[in-house]
Amino acid sequence: MNDLSITITQLLDTDLEKLRKVSREIWCTHYSTIISNEQIEYMLTKMYGTGVIEDEIYNQGIFYDKVLHGSEFVGYLSYGSETKDNINYLKLHKCYLLTSLHGFSYGQNMLFHVYKKALEMDLKQIILNVNKRNEKGIKAYSRFGFRIIDSQVKDFGCGFVMDDYIMGYNF
């Protein structure tokens, strides 16, 4: 399946159900060894439930892009501009790709896409959160040039926490 390049374009309203389907596949495959199935189900509902993505796009200024391999929907990105301590940066909220496509540089292409978006927005830093047990993700982000700058344990509700590293990329 690595004979085709990926295409990254703006997510359309007509793509939302595909995004929800591929997110379930990615989360159940990749995160099943990192967090419990109960937490996966809870997070899928909180992050991808009906109306959640729509609210992020139309009310919170968060951008979503779809990743296509040929014509197949295989991943997605979401990001937006944020400000903390008078510093504007691009917050990478989601960067997900089917696990069957890991290892072919598609993830690096996705990160380069986000890098270009940050430049277009005149931002000089990208920040993301990654689960501390997500070794594949940490390695991929580090390979691109991200560095761990902090850590955070955040209550996500129903007894679940997000135990993350905060990684940053400066340019």
CATH classification (class only), 6-170? alpha beta
- Show pLDDT as tens, one digit a residue, over the chain (171 residues): 445 689 999 999 999 999 999 999 999 999 999 999 999 999 999 999 999 999 999 999 999 999 999 999 999 999 999 999 999 999 999 999 999 999 999 999 999 999 999 999 999 999 999 999 999 999 999 999 999 999 999 999 999 999 999 999 999
pTM of the complete model beyond 0.85: yes
**How far is CA 87 from each of CA 61, 113, 124, 154, rounded to the nearest angstrom?**
18, 22, 9, 22
Q: For the chain, which residues make up each domain, given as ranges?
A: 6-170
